[in-house]
């Protein structure tokens, strides 16, 4: 007896392996803001691949003086798009974003690339570090000054859980709004949100949310 045509149809192959119903990878835990092991082999490999892309961006930008802007943007786009990442079916898509007219000076550093979202007309000064275990979002028309550090790993509050490379970490998103100025040498800690139009004076350490249109400075940074 012949089967109906509908029964003979085979679904197209997928490049995504089905997610386990219970077990999460360390990467998925990291993306979900749960305790994860940063020295898991998958995450180490991804940081190594990102390091190679960042090295190429820094090297090319410094040696090829006449490189046109579009070529520099393509080098930076390769970092945030992280094409070396294996496709996977996840509830949250993995991949960064790079707007138009973005200027990133070298040397530049980031950990993964795919957790960085930079909107239009953003300036990032030299010697900046975007430690993107968690999402880092930077709104349009924002300036990040020389030597600024944005970290997404929470500071531990209990030294009894510290185990060095065997210890778990928690990543929290950092959000920087539109038309924000972050001065030279500032440090922005995990989980912080900086509102539109805020100014963070040079050398400040931001450990809590900064409201819109606020001028903040100090360690910890407070609004004037």
At 158-186, the pLDDT tens digits run 777 778 888 899 999 999 999 999 999 99
Angle, to 10 degrees, between the axis of helix 41-63 and the axis of helix 69-81?
170
**Looking at residue 148, what is its pLDDT?**
99
Give mean pLDDT, residues 102-112: 96
Whether residue 84 has pLDDT greater than 90 = no
- Can you give the pTM of this predicted structure? 0.85
Mean pLDDT (whole number) for 187-208:
98
Q: What is the mean pLDDT of residues 95-105?
A: 92
Among residues of the chain, what percentage have pLDDT more than 70?
A: 82
Maximum mean pLDDT: which of 11-15, 64-68, 164-168, 198-202 = 198-202
Q: How confident is the model at residue 87 (pLDDT cuts 50, 70, 90)?
A: low
pLDDT at residue 8 tops 70: no
For the chain, domain boundaries: 28-223
d(CA 75, CA 83): 12
Q: How far apart are CA 222 and CA 170, in angstroms?
A: 25
Question: Does residue 206 surpass a pLDDT of 80?
Answer: yes
What pLDDT does residue 145 have? 98
Helix or strand holding residue 129 (H, E): strand 128-131
Task: Please state, rounded to an integer, the average pLDDT across all residues of the chain.
Answer: 87
Residues forming beta bridges with residue 138, ordered by sequence position: 118, 176
Which candidate, 200, 199, 57, 197, places its Cα nearest to that of 116? Answer: 57
Q: What kind of fold does domain 28-223 have according to CATH?
A: UDP N-Acetylglucosamine Acyltransferase; domain 1 (2.160.10)
* pLDDT above 50 (res 16): no
DSSP state of 74: H
Over the stretch 24-72, which tens digit does the pLDDT of each residue have? Answer: 999 999 999 999 999 999 999 999 999 999 998 998 766 555 566 677 7
What is the reported pLDDT for 91?
54
């Amino acid at each position: 007896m012949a089967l109906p045509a509908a029964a003979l149809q085979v679904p197209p192959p997928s490049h995504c392996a089905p997610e386990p119903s219970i077990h999460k990878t360390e990467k998925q835990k990291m993306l979900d803001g749960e305790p994860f092991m940063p020295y898991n082999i998958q995450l180490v490999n991804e940081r190594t691949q990102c390091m190679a892309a960042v090295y190429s961006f820094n090297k090319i930008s410094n040696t090829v003086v006449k490189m046109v802007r579009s070529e520099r943007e393509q080098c930076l786009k390769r970092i945030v798009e992280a094409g070396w990442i294996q496709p996977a079916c996840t509830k949250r898509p993995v991949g960064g974003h790079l707007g138009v007219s973005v200027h990133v000076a070298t040397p530049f550093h980031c950990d993964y690339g795919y957790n960085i979202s930079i909107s239009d007309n953003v300036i990032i000064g030299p010697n900046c570090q975007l430690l993107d275990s968690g999402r880092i979002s930077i709104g349009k028309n924002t300036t990040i000054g020389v030597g600024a550090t944005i970290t997404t790993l929470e500071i531990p509050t209990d030294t009894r859980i510290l185990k060095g490379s065997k210890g778990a970490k928690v990543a929290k998103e950092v959000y920087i709004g539109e038309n924000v100025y972050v001065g030279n040498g500032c440090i922005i800690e995990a989980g912080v949100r900086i509102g539109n139009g805020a100014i963070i004076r040079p050398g400040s350490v931001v450990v809590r949310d900064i409201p819109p249109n606020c001028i903040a400075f100090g360690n910890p940074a407070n609004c004037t």
